[in-house]
Amino acid sequence: MGKSEKKLHIEFGIVFQVIKSGCLKCMFIVCLLFLMLRATAPGSPFVFVLVSEPVHVYKNLINAIVMVESSGDTLAFNPEEEAYGAFQIRPIRLLDYNRRTGRNYKIKECYNYEISKEIFLYYAKDMDYPDFQLIARNWNGSGKMTIEYWGKVKKFL
């Protein structure tokens, strides 16, 4: 068995073991590596690794919620509801979030977009993805008013 035949035999052996173990993600990675090895010139010391962009499944929903809540204004404040930031987070929501996560955010920190987004995503991920309607309505509260709220959010999706 020649050198290239041994290499090919080993690569197929790895692929077979991965298939046998049932690890689909590992199999995909090994297959990509196998294809990359085939794509390089013989004796080439270079290996190219492809990096994919992460999928942000909530991106459109986040943008829609922010537009409905604050028209994108990270410094928005609603004195009537005492709601802060782009996501219009109320003190009771922040208190619940801090209690559940062990965080200790203060209400003024909700002006920070990244912190507010973290809080929103915590509750969004607690719902059934990809039911954006359920996520949006629960973010808004409960009752019949949330149906109207969902209508507003849908316009931005």
Give the mean pLDDT per block of 10 residues along the chain (157 residues): 48 50 60 58 65 85 97 97 97 97 97 98 85 94 93 96
Q: Are residues 21 and 68 in the same domain?
A: no
* pTM of the complete model: 0.66
Instruction: Flag whether 99 is in a domain.
Output: yes
Q: Are residues 91 and 146 in the same domain?
A: yes
Say how far apart CA 12 and CA 23 lie, in whole Å: 15
Q: Measure CA of the first residue to CA of the last residue in the chain; give whole Å.
A: 59
Q: Structurally, how many domains does the chain consist of?
A: 2
CATH of the domain at 116: 1.10.530.10
